[in-house]
Amino acid sequence: MTADSGSIGAFSFLTARQIRFARGVSETAHADVAGFGTRVLLVRGRSVPWVDGFCVRLSQAGCEVTTVVQSGEPLVADVETAVDLGRAAGTEVVVAVGGGAVIDLGKAVAALVPANGRLMDYLESIGGGNPLLSEPLPFIALPTTAGTGAEVTKNAVIGVPESGRKVSLRSDSMLPTLAIVDPALTDGSPRNVTLASGLDAVTQCIEPYLSTRANPLTDALCRASIPDGLAALARLSQTDCPRARDRMACTSLTGGIALANAGLGAVHGLAGVIGGRYHAPHGLICGRLLGPVLSLNARSGIRGRDRYDEIAHWIAAAFGCPAERAFDHLTMQLDQWELPRLGAWISPGSDLGAIAADAAGASSMRTNPEPLTHADLVRAVELAL
């Protein structure tokens, strides 16, 4: 973690080639796409009405559009099918309109269409882990949820059913060419989706802020976005507010930038395993684990309490609770919002030790701020059930 004493170590910083953020900015996206090529592979979610008009505008701009509709997190077979379709269509540019799963699929397809090989050759951890040597196709991301920040990350999370795991295809070259973040595309999202996505966005600012790879640039982004995102989340729990949606979309964007440069922590180390095994919604997993993991990290406190105290005060300000009880209050807050606990997916008697063992080897654990034990990881899951 960046030392607060004033010393600054070496760091690097990467993000998408260009980011455009504004309410309404998506209305000119068709012109941006046409500037990269006319043979377009469009990856979209099922429930995104805006896409229909977007396709009309792409056609009017002279584009030939091949469409892939993705429902749920992408699996290996989904990626392989979309890559084959993209190659057959002679794709010149890939566009993804949807949530993080849709954007991850588009990101993977853009990387693999020009590559020599199949997905498993390049997947980390359980695949070949080979580097991507071919330059990906131009990739444009338009998120319709405010949570994952996938529009500015350099990896695509892929489910591998036969292994019960979710692992990443990862490369610096996979950062999107253009991220178009229009908060209006999140308007009208169901409350439970909004809150679960928002919890992911906030977690992805908190974990990089505590990360062992935090640096002055990610710190500046996270210090601004954590309290802002928590306040927006509290507002959206009460009413659908465009201004709060704008702020949450910005928090999501910030979290994506921060995690791509500083890494994450035990919340996401556990979430990847739980999501792969039990198929619970990712944002909800992160939200349910956030309070327990913060409490366990803070009890160790090897790296000092200053940042934990800051986060506790930001949570207290957003939700009106005592700062000294802020991490425990997160669990009660989610209960008040009637968001399910992880026991809705993880049945009594499940092997929590196996979950902890797999999570201990996850890439996100490498930057967790504290050395959590196997028992700590089991306890975090128990508290989320």
Tell me the pLDDT tens digit for each residue of 83-125: 999 999 999 999 999 999 999 999 999 999 999 889 999 988 7
Kindly state whether residues 175 and 196 are assigned to the same domain: no
The identity of residue 21, as a single letter, is F
Kindly state whether residues 239 and 372 are assigned to the same domain: yes
User: Domain for residue 139, yes or no?
Assistant: yes
Kindly state whether residues 203 and 81 are assigned to the same domain: no
pLDDT over threshold 70, residue 138? yes
Kindly state whether residues 228 and 345 are assigned to the same domain: yes
CATH code of residue 297: 1.20.1090.10
Residue 3: band (very low, low, confident or very high) from pLDDT cuts 50, 70, 90: very low
DSSP symbols for 20-86: EE-TTGGGGHHHHHHTT-SEEEEEEESS-THHHHHHHHHHHTT-EEEEEEE-SSPBHHHHHHHHHHH
Return the number of other C-beta atoms located less than 10 Å from residue 375's C-beta: 11
40-44, 222-226, 345-349: segment of lowest average pLDDT? 345-349
Kindly state whether residues 214 and 354 are assigned to the same domain: yes
What number is the average pLDDT over the span 313-332?
Answer: 97
What number is the average pLDDT over the span 9-23?
Answer: 93
Tell me the pLDDT tens digit for each residue of 197-233: 999 999 999 999 999 999 999 999 999 999 999 999 9
Tell me what percent of the residues of the chain surpass a pLDDT of 70. 98
Kindly state whether residues 151 and 49 are assigned to the same domain: yes
CATH code of residue 129: 3.40.50.1970
User: Domain for residue 1, yes or no?
Assistant: no
The identity of residue 1, as a single letter, is M
Kindly state whether residues 165 and 285 are assigned to the same domain: no
Between vectors from CA 256 to CA 11 and to CA 241, what angle results, nearest 5°?
A: 140
Q: What is the pLDDT of residue 6?
A: 57
Kindly state whether residues 157 and 225 are assigned to the same domain: no
- For 291, residues 6+ apart whose C-beta sits below 8 A from its C-beta are 327, 328, 329, 330, 331, 383
What number is the average pLDDT over the span 44-50?
Answer: 89
Q: Tell the burial category of 8 from Cβ atoms under 10 Å away from its Cβ (0-12, 13-18, 19+).
A: exposed
- Containing structural domain, residue 132: 18-185
Closest CA to 107 of 172, 21, 51: 172
Q: What is the pLDDT of residue 232?
A: 98
Q: What is the pLDDT of residue 129?
A: 84
Kindly state whether residues 321 and 231 are assigned to the same domain: yes
Map tokens 């922590």 to a residue.
Answer: 265
Number of domains in the chain: 2
- For 134, residues 6+ apart whose C-beta sits below 8 A from its C-beta are 114, 115, 116
User: Domain for residue 9, yes or no?
Assistant: no
What number is the average pLDDT over the span 17-31?
Answer: 97
3-state secondary structure 234-292: HHHCCCCCHHHHHHHHHHHHHHHHHHHHHCCCHHHHHHHHHHHHHCCCHHHHHHHHHHH
User: Domain for residue 3, yes or no?
Assistant: no
Q: What is the pLDDT of residue 2?
A: 43
Last residue of a domain, one of 185, 205, 229: 185
pLDDT over threshold 70, residue 381? yes
Residue 46: band (very low, low, confident or very high) from pLDDT cuts 50, 70, 90: confident
pLDDT over threshold 80, residue 241? yes
User: Domain for residue 165, yes or no?
Assistant: yes
Question: What does pLDDT average to over the chain?
Answer: 94
Residue 276: band (very low, low, confident or very high) from pLDDT cuts 50, 70, 90: confident
Residue 292: band (very low, low, confident or very high) from pLDDT cuts 50, 70, 90: very high
Kindly state whether residues 165 and 293 are assigned to the same domain: no
pLDDT over threshold 90, residue 5? no
Kindly state whether residues 166 and 261 are assigned to the same domain: no
User: Domain for residue 69, yes or no?
Assistant: yes
pLDDT over threshold 60, residue 328? yes
Tell me the pLDDT tens digit for each residue of 168-181: 899 999 999 999 99
Kindly state whether residues 93 and 171 are assigned to the same domain: yes
What number is the average pLDDT over the span 14-39?
Answer: 96
136-145, 158-167, 345-354: segment of lowest average pLDDT? 158-167
Residue 1: band (very low, low, confident or very high) from pLDDT cuts 50, 70, 90: very low
